[in-house]
Amino acid sequence: MHAPTGPGDLIGRQAELDGIDRFLGLARRHPSGLVLEGEAGIGKTSLWCKGVERARARGFRVLSTRPGGADVQLSFAGVADLLGAMDEQTRERLPPPQRRALAAALLVEDVSDEPLDDRAVSAAFLSVLRVLAEDRTCILAVDDVQWLDAASMRVLDFALRRLEAEPVGILATARTDDRSVRAGELVRTIGEGRAERIELGPLSLGATHELLRWRLDLRLSRPTLVRLHATCGGNPFYALQIGEALRRSGREPVAGEPLPVPRDLGKLVRERLVGLSSRTRTTLLLGAALAEPSVLLLWRATGDPAAVEHDLDEAERAGIVQVLGPVVRFAHPLFASVHYASAPAAERRAAHRRLADVVGSGEERARHLALAAAGPDGAVAGALEEAARGARARGATPMAAQLFEQAVSLTPEDDQAGAQRRRVAAAEAHFASGGTARARDLLESALAEAEPGNERADILYRLGMTTRAVDGARSIRLLQEAAEEAQADDGLRAKVLCGLSHWVYAHHVGMDALERAARSAVELAEHSGDHRTLAVALGQLGGTRFMRDDDVPAELMERAVVLEEESGEPSVDEDGGPAIQYATMLLYAGRLAPARELLERLCERARRTGEAGIAHPLQMLAYLEFYSGRWGRAEAAAREALDVSLQSGRESEEVGARSALGLVLGGRGELDPARRHLERGLAAAERSGRGGRAPRSALAMLELSVGNAEAAWGWLEPAVAFVIPLGVLMLRPEVALAIDVLLELGRVRDAEAILDPFEEAARKRDRPWALAAAMRCRGLALAARDRLPEAESTGERAVELAELSPNRLELPLSLLALGTVQRRLGRKQGARATLGRALASFEDLGARLWAERVRRELGRIGGRVPYEHELSATEESIAELVAEGRSNKQIAAGLHLSVKTVEWNLSKLYRKLGVRSRTELAAALRRG
């Protein structure tokens, strides 16, 4: 999914646009039709306009009409519209009777004394089409064909039946909710094989989110967004209307409160309801109050099956519901919301009271009890709490949050303990499902009421954890206070210390403090016998070890992961358990395959339970796929992570998601969007008190790729300054990048000062990606000191190592470095071959800017520049490997291309060189 470039752009309709392109392609060859169908507001006209635009862009002639409701009566209004732009010359080519008939139909000549001949108009219309289609493809564009006047419909029908091979297309939209038969007629007329129908379905949740962001600049919390999406049934028009009403109201609805329905829309829907008898409206209110209305439940709630049958019948005839066997469905979800929202509060409560007695499940019953209550009620609050716990346990987290909230609001004044417990539980469920701000509000008010000791400690702890992503310093203060307060409870203290040993605090408190906290957490957790906390504590300890020695403490982590699995669902949050920690380490260590497996497993779980925490494993996956060279996947994961993080207000995840997205887009050379994401990511990092290493490194990478080392260092310096003084791990990508940038700036000494320990650490750890990067940088440093022969041999070694590196950018980067040295040594042939491989490999990744850099380097070799006039660099590399007798498979592996790409390039090679076989190719190369 790509961000649209302006408010006029369509969101989430790629498949439909592809359908339009297909149709336009066919219309060029023979009569074709495409009907866009769907309910009002689903986006037919918008799509149709795009179709018209695309047709014009192809140089087609477009005749269009957009009949409004009132036009249905006016004879030939549609034909007049379609032919409105017809010129005099075309008219003159028609036989006189047809010309006259047309003139009458178009009301351009006063011929009112002659009776209007339907058939003559039709024949004339057909002639016009034929004339117009002689030189250009002609598209008849009709928006809302159900409102086309009957006479024009007959004309179209006549003409379309008689077209044979003319390049004429008809692009129409049709409403399905009016049970229009027009669309079907049109399709039959053109011929089933030549016409297609596209039913516009609902926009996805993500597309709706984007629509609200782009059109209204409205950002909703995920739970509200989910409700809005369900209410509008994915209909963009309704989504915009409700979004507008939400924006006007200036706040999101609280639990149990209906979404605001805009007045116009409400009126529109109510107009359909007013004609109904009052009993039918009451029955429908019961239906609207039910999560899943059914005939049976309505029978039970009213105790009168015959009346229900009668009422549903009436509503069905009015087009408000559909009764599908036992199921009652509102024709549009909006009917239910509007009807419900506009009923008086007392009637709504009465409906819920009746329903509470007849629904089965605990949750549904509790919900009705709550909505039936007029004020606080201990029993109802208790039932709600129980239902909420059930919902939470089965992973229906947003539902649980709503139920807990309702429980809080119905708890009687004198039950302080109950209110506290429910507030905390509601906060937990909100946080888990992405309602971060609401979670914090609830905890703040719980904190104000809390008793000193464990209760206060627990709330401080939770508040500290929810605040981590937005305010690191405050989060530490809260957690430290919690640790003090929790002296009496080992288990709780262990949890708090786990929270405190998180790496985000490294630059606040230092590495020693982190490791001490983790170690104490492990001891306390072992003592208290809480396995889950022990798992987390072990994970944290592993994390601090990894930060310190940069060596994956595999045994410790495996133990922690198993322990976590045994104690329930693993957590996917950044703050989560050992599984996510372990994945992070594996990723940093360049062990991509096991990291991917673990991350995909975590994503799958989080998706199942709807956890907003999924943003974290997703953005890690995005990084991983970027380094694996699968940029399409990286982009998809980063975008999903970004969506979730924005919807759930998790700024720390937004930082990661935007950084990964910026890396991919920047890699592809889409500089503006890349910069935008990275700068926003950096701003979010700074807002939440983080260093912004990830966006800074990505920005540096981007500047380096356009040859702006100065700017790159500007971004990178603070990030590196953060890593190095901690004495933490030298083996981070940003450290290698810093060496690159410093070398590019000619600061060889500074570069070597980082390179020396980096290389040493890479050797000690035997980590392929770091070794390869170190060797490449070493070669560059030697070259900078004009020690070219050494630089060459080091560069060759770097290439060998890069072939083993999990980082797919490493190979072309090292080839580029080596090729440059070879050029400076005057080895034209070798330089050309090496740079050719670099080019092919960058191109294969889609790294446009890097590829350009290689091309510039190739251009500096001088002498014959064959790849421009004869063979492309890729072709040349392939040709050389063929000459060496390698198979396609070997070549593909060597150049990191797919076998298909190799085959395709070979066929081009054969053509260009005029050869027919590999042997001939090798011979031709020897000659040339």
Ligand X SMILES: Nc1ncnc2c1ncn2[C@@H]1O[C@H](COP(=O)(O)OP(=O)(O)O)[C@@H](O)[C@H]1O
Residues that bind ligand X (CB under 6 A): 10-13, 38, 40-46, 211, 236-237, 240
Given ligand X, Mg ion, none, residue 536, with its beta carbon under 5 to 8 Å by kind, binds: none
Beta bridge partner(s), residue 926:
none
236 versus 768: smaller Cβ distance to Mg ion: 236
Q: How far is the CB of 11 from ligand X (least distance, A)?
A: 4
Shortest distance, position 329 Cβ to ligand X, whole Å:
21
Of 177 and 347, the one with the shorter C-beta distance to Mg ion is 177
Which of 4, 30, 45, 395 is close enough to bind Mg ion by CB under 5 A?
Answer: 45
Q: What is the closest distance, in whole angstroms, from the C-beta atom of residue 4 to Mg ion in the complex?
A: 19
Q: How far is the CB of 144 from Mg ion (least distance, A)?
A: 6
DSSP at 69? G
Stretch of residues binding Mg ion (CB under 5 A), selected from 44-52, 256-264, 718-726, 731-739: 44-52
- Residue 41: name its binding partner from ligand X, Mg ion, none (Cβ under 5 to 8 Å by kind): ligand X
Q: How far is the CB of 321 from ligand X (least distance, A)?
A: 22
- Distance in angstroms (rounded) separating the CA atoms of residues 268 and 812: 62
Q: Which is nearer to Mg ion, 177 or 551 (CB)?
A: 177
Cβ of residue 48: shortest distance to Mg ion, in angstroms? Answer: 8
Cβ 147 to ligand X, closest distance in Å?
A: 12
Binding partner of residue 472 among ligand X, Mg ion, none, CB under 5 to 8 Å per kind?
none
Nearer residue to Mg ion within complex by CB, 142 or 494: 142
> What is the closest distance, in whole angstroms, from the C-beta atom of residue 204 to ligand X in the complex?
11
Q: In terms of residues, how long is the chain?
A: 928
Partner interacting with residue 695 (select from ligand X, Mg ion, none; CB below 5-8 Å by kind): none
Choosing among ligand X, Mg ion, none, which partner's interface includes residue 40 (Cβ < 5 to 8 Å by kind)? ligand X
The least CB distance from residue 171 to ligand X, in Å, is 13
CA 766 remoteness from chain centre: 37
Nearer to Mg ion, 45 or 708 (CB): 45
Q: Which residues contact 531 (CB under 8 A, 6 or more apart)?
A: 563, 566, 567
180 binds Mg ion (CB under 5 A): no
Piece of 37-45, 345-353, 371-379, 888-896 that binds Mg ion (CB under 5 A): 37-45
Is residue 542 within 8 Å of residue 522, measured between CB atoms? Answer: no
* Residue 54 vs 886, nearer CB to Mg ion: 54
Q: CB-wise, 45 or 445, nearer to Mg ion?
A: 45
Residue type present at position 418: G
Q: Which of 266, 204, 213, 267 is nearest to 235 (CA)?
A: 204
Strand duo 61-65 + 138-142: pairing:
parallel
Residue 46 binding target from Mg ion, ligand X, none, CB below 5 to 8 Å by type: ligand X
Distant-in-sequence, close-in-space partners of 241: CB < 8 Å, separation ≥ 6: 232, 262, 264, 265
Structure tokens at 427: 């906060």
Q: How far is the CB of 4 from ligand X (least distance, A)?
A: 8
The answer to whether 79 and 107 are in contact (CB under 8 A) is no
Assess contact for 577 and 564: CB atoms under 8 A.
yes
- The one of ligand X, Mg ion, none whose footprint includes residue 478, by CB under 5 to 8 A per kind, is none
In angstroms, what is the minimal distance from the CB of 8 to ligand X? Answer: 8
Nearer to ligand X, 46 or 581 (CB): 46
Residue number, 142 or 400, with CB nearest to Mg ion: 142
Minimum CB–partner distance for residue 1 and ligand X (Å) = 12
From the CB of 173, what's the least distance to Mg ion, in Å?
A: 6
For the CB of residue 70, give the shortest distance to ligand X in the complex, in Å: 17
Helix ranges restricted to H, 107-221: 118-135, 150-162, 182-190, 205-216
Q: What is the DSSP string of 615-672?
A: HHHHHHHHHHHHHTT-HHHHHHHHHHHHHHHHHHT-HHHHHHHHHHHHHHHHHHT-HH
User: Which residue type occupies 273?
Assistant: L
Long-range CB contact pairs, 816-821, < 8 A, 24+: 816/850, 816/853, 816/854, 816/857, 817/776, 817/779, 817/780, 817/783, 818/779, 818/792, 819/854, 819/857, 820/783, 820/857, 821/779, 821/783, 821/788, 821/791, 821/792, 821/795
Nearer to ligand X (CB atom), residue 220 or residue 882:
220
Q: How far is residue 294's CA from residue 305's CA, in Å, rounded to a whole number?
A: 12
Cβ–Cβ under 8 Å, residues 119 and 126: no
Q: Which helix H or strand E contains 195, and what residues bound it?
A: strand 195-199
Q: Which stretch in 43-51, 275-283, 403-411, 690-698 sits in contact with Mg ion by CB under 5 A?
A: 43-51
241 binds, among ligand X, Mg ion, none (CB under 5 to 8 A by kind): none
Nearer to Mg ion, 45 or 224 (CB): 45
Neighbours of 263 (CB within 10 A): 10
User: Which residue, 172 or 595, has its beta carbon nearer to ligand X?
Assistant: 172
Rounded to a whole number of angstroms, the minimum distance from the CB of residue 361 to ligand X is: 37
Of Mg ion, ligand X, none, which one sits near residue 237, judging by CB under 5 to 8 A according to partner kind? ligand X
Phi, psi of 171 (to 5 degrees): -115, 110
Q: Identify what 43 binds: ligand X, Mg ion, none; CB under 5 to 8 Å per kind.
A: ligand X
CB neighbourhood size of 255 (10 A): 18
Q: What is the DSSP string of 18-57?
A: HHHHHHHHHHTTS-EEEEEEESTTSSHHHHHHHHHHHHHH
Closest separation in Å from C-beta 462 to ligand X: 39
Residue 513 interacts, among ligand X, Mg ion, none and using kind-specific CB cut-offs from 5 to 8 Å, with none
Question: Is the CB of 38 or the CB of 667 nearer to ligand X?
Answer: 38
Partner from ligand X, Mg ion, none binding residue 229, C-beta < 5-8 Å depending on class: none
- Residues in the interface with Mg ion (CB under 5 A) total 1
Binding mask 782-821 for Mg ion (x = CB under 5 A): ----------------------------------------
Q: Is 528 in the site for Mg ion (CB under 5 A)?
A: no
CA-CA-CA-CA dihedral for 126, 130, 131, 133, to nearest 10: 130
What phi, psi does 32 have (nearest 5°)? -145, 160
Residue 169 binding: pick among ligand X, Mg ion, none (C-beta 5-8 Å cut-off by kind): none
Helix (H, G, I), strand (E, B) or coil at 483: helix
In whole angstroms, how far apart are CA 622 and each of 26, 587, 618, 636, 928?
39, 11, 6, 8, 45
Q: How far is the CB of 572 from ligand X (least distance, A)?
A: 31
> Quick check: helix, strand or coil at residue 310?
helix
Alpha-carbon dihedral of residues 836, 837, 840, 844, nearest 10 degrees?
A: -160
Q: CA-CA distance, 814 to 777, in Å (whole number)?
A: 9
- State which residue has the least CB distance to ligand X: 43
Kind of pairing between the strands at 327-330 and 321-324 = antiparallel
Nearer to ligand X among residue 147 and residue 404 (C-beta): 147
Alpha helices in 275-396 (DSSP H): 278-289, 295-302, 305-317, 333-342, 345-356, 362-372, 378-393
417-424: Cβ within 8 A, 24+ apart: 418/378, 418/381, 418/382, 418/385, 419/449, 420/446, 420/449, 420/450, 420/455, 421/385, 422/381, 422/385, 424/458, 424/459, 424/462
Closer residue to Mg ion (CB): 179 or 927: 179
**Residue list 357-376, contact with Mg ion (CB under 5 A):** none
Q: For Mg ion, which stretch binds (CB under 5 A), given 38-46, 75-83, 241-249, 908-916?
A: 38-46
Give 19 or 570: the residue with its C-beta nearer to ligand X.
19
Structure tokens at 765: 């750890």
Closer residue to ligand X, CB minimum distance, 39 or 792: 39
Residue 108 interacts, among Mg ion, ligand X, none and using kind-specific CB cut-offs from 5 to 8 Å, with none
User: How far is 327 from 583, CA to CA, in rounded Å?
Assistant: 46
Q: Which does 781 bind (CB under 5 to 8 A by kind): ligand X, Mg ion, none?
A: none
Q: Which residues bind Mg ion (CB under 5 A)?
A: 45
